[in-house]
Structure 1
Amino acid sequence: MKDQNTSLPIYHGNETIRNISFMVNVAWGNEYLIDLLKLLKERNINVTFFLEGRWVEQYPEYALMIKDSNQEIGNHAYSHKDMRTLTVEEINMEITKTNEKIHEVLGVKPKYFTPPYGYFDSRVLEIAENLKMETILWSLDTVDWKIENPNEIIDKIVPNIKNGSIILMHPTESSLTALPSIIEKALDQNYKIKKISELLNNN
């Protein structure tokens, strides 16, 4: 949750409601995307995909698959740079160029932004807020870009799921393999899996 009067990132949803969300950051991993979307469809689950602008430009057909699967679309900056190292103009460009590309390809205007690597400073938050976007981070991280054993991901995530958890993942083999177990264990504990917008609006 976030104080509406200040520019702060959001790390989780309402901690009194049994909802959780997955955020899928996409700048690579095309080879696992179709199977990931198939898995989500089979389980009737919608999550939020944060897309890199450059990736949308290079792979519009994959971006369209995500949108057409009724998944929510967020902004993951244009070129996956550490936003803290950029000028104000460059930060603005990274976010706005991605919004423009997503709108051009998908007809969607993202409301949510997540910075590459989770790195940000006050300028990044202020620029996102000026663009009427909320900055989303996470409360649980699969670290699936370096953890290859899906059981390790399951053991890392499942015991730590709480009301409002936002779980970060990417299109990787390890997360794709771990996800069915994570979903089943969450559902068994009566959690509902929501898109970020639903998580934050307590739907």
Structure 2
Amino acid sequence: MLACLVTILIAGTYGPLQSFVQAVKSRPTASAAIMNEQSEDQLMSWIKSEAAKQNQSPINPVIDRVWKAIPGYDGRVVDVKATYLKAKLIGFKPENAKGFPWIYRSVKPKLALDDLPMEPIYRGNFAKPMVGLMINVAWGDEFLLPMLQILSETGVKATFFFDGTWLAKHMDTAQNILAQGHELSNHAYTHPDMSKLSAARQREEIGKTEQLLKKLGVKNVWFAPPSGYYNSETVKVASEYGLRTVLWTLDTIDWQKPEPSSVVSKIYRKVGPGTLILMHPTSTSQGALRGMIKAIRDKGFVPGTVSETLSSERVEDRL
């Protein structure tokens, strides 16, 4: 009789008892969810507290007494929500701050280079870890093709400033250079001293070469005066064609045929953020180019075109 009563009691309470057991079993899962939510809140709090340390203010372009027009540089702010979601997705913890996957949004300066008076440019912004390669071409192609091969092998793009008389005879070569992703720009037509020419003659020199570039489909934005000779009229005339006058920060002086090793050493010692390096298709620059690129990269800078170096865009993602 007692056994039957026990059986009945157990049978009668089995449903509620089973529910209770299931609830108890589910408690660790609920606790884990709460802990996970707390961890996520902790992660978000940490990101918010650290974000200000990662932000960088944009830098406006300026007219410098020595360097003339210096481009600006974009700032950055942490995209808190995107950073949080990425960190959560890959399981990053705040204690792993060294390699934390920050996501940024760029912030443009209040002023752009075009807002400044029309002055020549000798360098990029001091805060931008990029170096521009300027290759002025006014004679031959004996060393030009090997230099193009080196640029291809090292994955670097450069800006080629063409003398118009050379360009008129080597349009196929220029088209090939363009097809390889390099930048093509204007170096006048007959390599004159621009500072000694009338405004009309300067217009002719720049205009004739610009016409050749347009035949190649190039939308050019730079003018490099031959031998660096220019005056205020040069800058003004170039601007009539939508071009800014650009010179260089660091000269290889390769036309004097120094040893390639000495050029590489010079670049390593003197290159800095925003430097524009001038060279020509010479035996010296052919021999030094690979070493120059390595020196630039070893110093923590990105080698590239003049336009890339003088833009305000950030380059962290390319380092």
Query: Into which bin does the TM-score normalised by the smaller protein fall?
Result: over 0.9
Greater helix percent: which structure?
Answer: 2
Selected match of 1:70 from 164, 181, 197: 181
Q: Using the TM superposition, give the Cα deviation of residue 179 of structure 1 relative to its aligned residue in structure 2, in angstroms.
A: 1.2
Counterparts of 2:312 and 2:177 in 1: how far apart (Å)? 23
C-alpha separation in 2, matches of 1:160 and 1:65: 32
2-side partners of 1:88 and 1:199: how far apart? 30
Mapped to 1, the partners of 2:143 and 2:187 lie a distance apart of 18
- Measured in 1, the distance between the counterparts of 2:207 and 2:138 equals 17
Offset from partner CA, 1:147-198 (integer Å, 9 cap, x none): 3311221222220001100000000110111111111121122111121111
State whether structure 2 residue 219 is matched by structure 1 residue 129: no
Asked whether the 8 Å contact 1:50–1:114 carries over to 2, the reply is yes
CA–CA separation in structure 1 for the residues paired with 2:240 and 2:213: 19
Structure 1 CA distance for aligned equivalents of residues 226 and 299 of structure 2 = 31
Aligned pairs for 1:1-203 (under 5 A) are 1=70, 4-104=115-215, 106-203=216-313
Deviation readout 1:28-65 (Å, 9 max, x if unpaired)? 14101111111101111011101111111011122112
Q: How many residue pairs were aligned?
A: 202
**Structure 1 residue 202: deviation in Å?**
3.3
Structure 2 unmatched runs, 5+: 1-69, 72-112, 314-319
* 2:267–2:296 CA contact under 8 A, matched in 1: no
State the one-letter code of the partner of 1:143.
I
1:47-98, Cα deviation, whole Å (9 max, x unpaired): 1101111111011122112111110011000010001111111000100110
Q: Check whether the contact 2:159–2:182 (CA below 8 A) recurs between aligned residues.
A: yes
State, as a whole percentage, how many aligned pairs show the same letter: 36
Contact 2:255 2:280 in 1 (8 A): yes
* Higher RCO (CA 8 Å, separation ≥ 6 residues): 1
Taking the aligned partners of 1:7 and 1:17, their CA distance within structure 2 comes to: 22
User: Separation in 2 of the partners of 1:31 and 1:149?
Assistant: 18
What residue ranges of structure 1 are gaps of 5+ in the alignment?
none
TM-score where L is the length of structure 1: 0.95
1:88-130 residue CA offsets vs partner (Å, 9 max, x unmatched): 11000100110001112x1113110000000000000011112
Larger Rg: 2
User: Where does structure 1 differ by over 2 angstroms across 4 or more consecutive aligned residues?
Assistant: 2-5
TM-score for the superposition, normalised by structure 2: 0.61
Matched to 1:78, the amino acid is Y
Paired residues of 1:82 and 1:116 also in contact (CA < 8 A)? yes
* SS, match of residue 30 in structure 1: coil
CA distance in 1, matches of 2:288, 2:214: 32
Three-state SS of the structure 2 residue aligned to 1:6 is coil
Inter-partner Cα distance in structure 1 for 2:271 and 2:170: 33
Where 1:7 maps in the other structure, the secondary structure is coil
